[in-house]
Amino acid sequence: MSTRLLRGISRKRKTKFIIFLFIFPMFVTYTVFLILPAIVSVILSFTEWAGINISQIKFTGFSNYVELFKDRIYWLALKNTFLFVIFALTVQYILAFILAILLQQNNKVSGFFRAVFFAPQVLSLIIVGLLFTFFLSPSMGLVTLFLEKIGVRLAKPLLVDKRIAIYLLTLVWTWRIFGFSMFLLIAGLQAIPQNIYEAAEIDGGRSLQKLWFITIPLLKEVSVVVMILAGTAAFRVFELVYVITGGGPFHATEVAVTYIYHRAFVGSRMGYGSAIATTLATIMFIFTVLFLYFSKAGTRRY
């Protein structure tokens, strides 16, 4: 009896040890290289620091945030980030949705088009950025040359025009990303049981009605996934802007993350950069939660 009990205890201990052994390594790397830096980032946002010597860190309270609030370029970068997110999300979702409807059947032709549309996913944003620099570069970009050939003269060179530069970047972004959203939407479409459509046909439903009353509501869950993935990715946009415009001209295409990079690493203000990073993370968090909340509230109605 007592040996049995003893064995029971040692077994329990052994299990605990195994659990520890299986989870602990991941816990360590995750905590040290992700959670810890994130916390430090928040702490640094309350300091002034050039980033060289740790002993030179000066706590300055909320001064970085106060400065941020008055920083015109910060607000511009935020505005650009929002424009980028909204425009990128809308364009690529509509495009992905239409293409998903057109290509949902599994046959050779749609297989070919799907494969082509998905291809840019494997290219890094740096490659995509450099690729489109050839096309959009202000002085000798191919788009400008092409437009001249067909007789269209631009008032201002591409990317120099402050009003449209950020939207051009959004289009490049869409080029890279819409295939992924399209794929998720196709997977979602194929998961809709065919007999629902058949029932609707018997009831005399037209294709547009079917689209509106069946496809769109049933695709809601996948759409939320697509929006969250594409939205958070767009909030973090960095490489594309860094490569194509570097945030210029005169901060016209500056987005939040390029601004962090410029302030922290180019301008050696780690504390200020951390404050920008912290506010951006907070904004992203709030938007994700709000979006999840409202999309859930919407689903319940059906």
Partner 1 sequence: MRSFENKKAEKVTRIFTYLVLSVIAFLIIYPIFWVTQTAFKTNLQIMQAPFSLPSSFYIDNFKEAWKIANFPRLFLNSIIATVSGVFVVLILTALAAYAFVRFNFKGKNILMLYFLLGLMIPPHMLMIPSFKLMSILHLRNTLFSLVLTYSSWISFGVFFLRAYFLSIPQEILDAASIDGCSEFRIFLKIIMPISAPGLTTVIIFHFVWIWNDFLFPLIYIQKESVRTVTLGLMNFAGKYTSYWNLQAASLSVILWPPLIFYIIFRKRIQKGLAEGAIKF
**Which residues, numbered 82-121, are part of the site for partner 1 (CB under 8 A)?**
95, 99, 102-103, 109, 113-121
C-beta closer to partner 1: residue 71 or 179: 179
Which of 88, 219, 234, 264 is in the footprint of partner 1 by CB under 8 A? Answer: 264
How is residue 232 written in tokens? 């958070």
Which of 189, 235, 251, 253 is in the footprint of partner 1 by CB under 8 A? Answer: 235
Q: Residue 9 and residue 296: Cα distance in Å, rounded?
A: 45
Which of 7, 16, 58, 206 is in the footprint of partner 1 by CB under 8 A? Answer: 16
Reduced to 3 states (helix: H, G, I; strand: E, B; else coil), residue 58 is strand
Reduced to 3 states (helix: H, G, I; strand: E, B; else coil), residue 43 is helix
Beta-carbon contacts of 145 under 8 Å, excluding residues fewer than 6 positions away, are none
Is 292 within 8 Å of 224 (Cβ atoms)?
A: yes
The 3-state secondary structure of 252-270, one letter per residue: CCCCHHHHHHHHHHHCCCH
124 binds partner 1 (CB under 8 A): yes
Query: By CB under 8 A, what part of segment 28-57 binds partner 1?
Result: 29-30, 32-38, 40-41, 44, 51, 54
290 binds partner 1 (CB under 8 A): no
Which of 1, 2, 5, 122 is in the footprint of partner 1 by CB under 8 A? Answer: 122
Query: By CB under 8 A, what part of segment 208-227 binds partner 1?
Result: 222, 225
Q: Do strands 47-48 and 58-59 pair parallel, antiparallel, or not at all (unpaired)?
A: antiparallel
Q: Residue 169 and residue 84: Cα distance in Å, rounded?
A: 8
Interacting span for partner 1 (CB under 8 A) from 77-85, 155-163, 178-186, 209-217:
178-186
**Could you tell me if residue 247 is left (phi over 0), alpha (psi between -120 and 50 degrees) or otherwise beta?**
left
CB of 196 to partner 1, least distance (A): 20
C-beta closer to partner 1: residue 127 or 196: 127
CB of 114 to partner 1, least distance (A): 7
CB of 105 to partner 1, least distance (A): 12
260 binds partner 1 (CB under 8 A): yes
Query: For residue 145, which phi and psi values (nearest 5 degrees)?
Result: -60, -45
Omega prior to 37 cis, within 30 of 0: no
Report the largest interatomic distance among the alpha carbons of the chain, rounded to a whole angstrom. Answer: 96
If binding means CB under 8 A, how many residues of this protein chain bind partner 1? 86
Which of 9, 11, 13, 19 is in the footprint of partner 1 by CB under 8 A? Answer: 19
C-beta closer to partner 1: residue 2 or 29: 29
Which of 82, 167, 175, 287 is in the footprint of partner 1 by CB under 8 A? Answer: 175
Beta bridge partners of 68: none
CB of 165 to partner 1, least distance (A): 18
Is 77 within 8 Å of 256 (Cβ atoms)?
A: yes
